[in-house]
Amino acid sequence: MPNTLIRIAASLSLLLASTAFAASSGNPVKGAELFTQCVACHNIGDGAQNLVGPNLNHVFGRVAGSVEGANYSEAMKAKGTSDKPVWNEKTLYIFLAGPARNVPGTTMGFQGFKREKEIKDLLAFLIQYSPAYEADSGKTPDAAAIAAATLPPPPSSEEEEVPEFTESYLTTAEAITTGDGLWGKQCRHCHGNSAYPGKAPKLTPASYTADFVFDRITNGFKKMPGWKSVFTLDERKALTAYVLSDKFSP
């Protein structure tokens, strides 16, 4: 390759490296909407605790697998111990595009975002909760700066009415079909037949009531996270209808 082309290629590589993953290019409002897919497993904001996954406060500039008391997979622990990668615009972008591909063996059930814009929007939201991090620096903030930083409040959640399940609703084809789609997208990873043994117990719908199923989906139980902030009320009702229907197939 001629020297001129080599210099052009090198310049393009530097340009892409400096801008392709910039969180500032995303929309934090849209990112907040996307984060509803994460809140079943991850807390964020002032007072956030570890759930199924680590809290995401100060995630920018943090070494992977380093949150004290977090329930990391062995794969993530190993990655954090050996490679010690720092979460930043680039590494988070790559991870969110395919968690299992980036960390083989991770127990994170999310398959990854398919659109570049979605990842950038989510990063723009998440970086608000890393106030000590210097955007696009890729560097770990000083511990004192992290301790002194003020975190935004967690995303708000609204109260909702507890639904009443009628026989006519539970047998509605539209609700069952919707629930089937949601089950395949988010639930089969842990509750499907291919997930046994170990990820989640087998379901026995014949012994469940609609209120029981809806409560488990909404509020979780033991290691199972609640999905209230991930699925809308209508989606959780549809999932309930599907689980209790004769169409249910884990």
Calpha distance 180→135 (Å, rounded): 41
* Residue 57, pLDDT score: 97
Nearest to 141 by CA among 76, 91, 88, 70: 88
Calpha distance 30→124 (Å, rounded): 9
Calpha distance 215→166 (Å, rounded): 16
Calpha distance 150→147 (Å, rounded): 8
Q: Is 195 exposed, middle or buried (0-12, 13-18, 19+ CB in 10 A)?
A: middle
* Residue 193, pLDDT score: 82
Calpha distance 236→77 (Å, rounded): 33
Residue 63's DSSP bridge partners are: 86
Nearest to 249 by CA among 187, 169, 175, 173: 187
* Residue 219, pLDDT score: 84
Calpha distance 219→226 (Å, rounded): 4
**Residue stretches of the chain with pLDDT short of 50:** 1-19
Calpha distance 87→250 (Å, rounded): 35
Nearest to 68 by CA among 80, 60, 83, 79: 80
| CB contact at 8 A, 245 and 180 | no
Residue given tokens 């909702």 in the structure block? 160
* Residue 157, pLDDT score: 60
| CB contact at 8 A, 181 and 231 | no
Helix/strand/coil percentages in the chain, nearest 5:
50, 0, 50
Domains of the chain, CATH where assigned: 20-148 (1.10.760.10), 167-243 (1.10.760.10)
Calpha distance 141→118 (Å, rounded): 26
* Residue 11, pLDDT score: 40
| CB contact at 8 A, 111 and 20 | no
* Residue 159, pLDDT score: 61
**What one-character DSSP code corresponds to residue 186?**
I
Q: The whole model's pTM is what?
A: 0.61
* Residue 21, pLDDT score: 62
pLDDT tens digits, one per residue of 19-55: 456 666 788 888 988 998 898 899 999 999 999 999 9
* Residue 55, pLDDT score: 96
